[in-house]
Amino acid sequence: MSQRYTIIGNYISPYVRKVLACMELKGLDYEIDPITPFVGNEAFTRISPLRRIPVLIDGALVLNDSSVICQYLEDKHPQPALYPADIAQRAKARWLEEYADTYLADVLIWRLFYQLAVRKHVFRETSDEAVVQHAREVEIPAALDYLETQLPVDGFIFGALSIADISLACYFRTASFVRYAVDATRWPRTAAFVQRMQALPVFQKLARWEDGVLRIPVTEQRTTLATMGAPLTRETMGSQVPQHGLPRG
Amino acid sequence: MSQRYTIIGNYISPYVRKVLACMELKGLDYEIDPITPFVGNEAFTRISPLRRIPVLIDGALVLNDSSVICQYLEDKHPQPALYPADIAQRAKARWLEEYADTYLADVLIWRLFYQLAVRKHVFRETSDEAVVQHAREVEIPAALDYLETQLPVDGFIFGALSIADISLACYFRTASFVRYAVDATRWPRTAAFVQRMQALPVFQKLARWEDGVLRIPVTEQRTTLATMGAPLTRETMGSQVPQHGLPRG
């Protein structure tokens, strides 16, 4: 019998969302310790050498990095498959996942969401407007121009829902927390894709908990999530004091 | 019959070396266009959206990202296996590959090799001494402290040679081009591991071509490699004019 998995990481994080979506789609049993990496304690540092979320705990096995975790879940629970069966398509799906995890994360999360939300709400700092403006005017459009050549008019990228669709959708979702939306007149395929993905039951289910903790201080999120029926761990690796840093997924 | 693969990317790059090592170990037929991303022309931009090397061309299929390419080669040519058969070990190997490709690359390549070699020899700039010093005194030691807990006293990390050993070794090799060597008194396991890996026939074979183009202007490397019997493509995607940028693998 499969044992219960533990995920360390916050619902707001796109990297965590990617893993949770895979677990939900595969029907796996899990509990979550919804910390942000900024408040991880020493126990968290021991299991996440780069202080990144998510971390997956499966008995004695501790795994870091969302892409590594998703591939592990696929290897261990092959059905339903979230990676294309065709070798070339599988490679293309992994490339789009990598593109999402690096470039899309850089421009949507670290130069937009981090500046506008995390610096303000977690660290009580002001955002760097020049960084945000360059992201909005140059870097995000470059990503959207590329995605517009990769996405289908309808349905999923490789026929069935795959890790590529899931990964891309996760970053646009976190960007929406700072009211970023893709301009449908300029990038119609990407805008429609993001809407289609967000309408999927798996993302709707996660969205409820995401909306529940949005704009709530990290120290109060656990209590809120408990009242909303989120599958929380009993213990937490979160401390009360936010620490500086730019951990990635 | 398997057709000949094409690799776009320079022998000096650790990301390219990782893919070449996998191809050599699997006995695959390939040719190489040894450009650096800094001199890639418009044709290169079209096949590498982030202007990164290596790029793999397999007939109509074009693949970016060294990790995606290595996994594709493994899927297509499973023997000899370069990923552990055990699911948990395979996940651990992928994590060490990710750790090498991101954190180790950041500190050994972008804050050391790029500063000391690329800025000087490609762009005729001076290096940022503060960046180099912080890497040497803080960031690289942190990586080595972690690796020292992960590496075996002898042999390979997961019994047989895997993508984890290959990835880690590639970054230390490029760092050695600016005379960086691991202090064996402080990190004995890592220092011995790097030496063992570098002594493998596959890395010795590649080292001959790497040494051949080291400290030679990028515009002259093709001619030098031709005289050394490297499997060059007929056409090149390199231009004569270096352009600025920080492309990754």
Each residue of A190-242: pLDDT tens digit?
Answer: 999 999 999 999 999 999 999 999 888 888 899 999 999 999 999 999 876 65
For the domain made up of A5-78+205-227, give the CATH fold.
Glutaredoxin (3.40.30)
The pLDDT value recorded for residue B40 is 87
Given pLDDT bands bounded at 50, 70 and 90, which one contains residue B229?
A: very high
Q: Residue length, chain A? A: 249
| The pLDDT of residue B242 | 59
Question: In chain A, which residues have pLDDT < 70?
Answer: 1-2, 240-249
Name residue A157's amino acid.
I
Nearest by CB to residue A90, choosing from B75, B98, B146, is: B75
Residue B85, pLDDT score: 98
Confidence (pLDDT) at A22: 98
Residue B52 Cα distances to A124, B3, B37, B170, B219, angstroms: 36, 24, 6, 17, 18
Q: Which of B5, B45, B46, B92 would best serve as a mutation to test chain A binding (most A beta carbons within 10 A)?
A: B92
Residues of chain B neighbouring A50 (CB-CB closer than 8 A): 99, 102-103
Residue with tokens 């695959």: B28
Give the other-Cβ count within 10 Å of B204's Cβ: 10
Which neighbouring-strand residues pair with A6? A31, A57
- Model pLDDT for residues B118-163, shown as the tens digit of each residue: 887 777 888 889 999 999 999 999 999 999 999 999 999 999 999 9
In the 3-class helix/strand/coil scheme, how is A35-66 assigned residue by residue? Answer: CCHHHECHHHHHHCCCCCCCEEEECCEEEECH
Structure tokens at A96: 């789009």
Residue B8 near residue B55 (C-beta atoms within 8 A): yes
Say if CB B167 and CB B25 are below 8 A apart. no
pLDDT for B69-119, tens place per residue? 999 999 999 999 999 999 999 999 999 999 999 999 999 999 999 888 888
- Asked if the Cβ–Cβ distance from A98 to B65 is below 8 Å, we say yes
Domain with CATH 1.20.1050.10 in chain A: 87-201
Nearest to B68 by CA among B78, B56, B77, B80: B56
DSSP 8-state class, residue B161: -
pLDDT of the residue at A248: 46
| Segment B159-200, tens digit of pLDDT | 999 999 999 999 999 999 999 999 999 999 999 999 999 999
Q: Do B61 and A103 touch (CB under 8 A)?
A: no
Q: Where in chain A is the domain with CATH 3.40.30.10?
A: 5-78+205-227
Question: Radius of gyration (Cα) for chain A, nearest Å?
Answer: 17
Domain with CATH 3.40.30.10 in chain B: 5-81+202-227
* Least Cα separation, residue A109 to chain B (angstroms): 17
pTM for the whole thing?
0.94
Domain B5-81+202-227 has CATH 3.40.50.880: no
The CATH architecture one would assign to domain B87-201 is Up-down Bundle (1.20)
* Top-confidence residue, B18 or A220: B18
B35: amino acid identity, one letter: I
> Measured between alpha carbons, how far apart are the two ends of chain A, in Å?
29
- B-facing residues of A in 170-229 (CB < 8 A) are none
Cβ atoms A15, A9 nearer than 8 A: yes
Q: Mutation test of the interface with chain B: which of A3, A62, A67, A72, choosing the one with the most B Cβ atoms within 10 A?
A: A72
A197's CB contacts (< 8 A; 6+ apart) are A165, A166, A168, A169, A172, A203
By C-alpha distance, which of A153, A44, A184, A171 is closest to A96? Answer: A171
Tokens of B43: 């044709």
A5 touches B at CB < 8 Å: no
DSSP label of B124: -
Residues B172, B174, B179, B182, Cα dihedral to 10° = 0
How far apart (Å, rounded) are the C-alpha atoms in residues A178 and A186?
Answer: 20
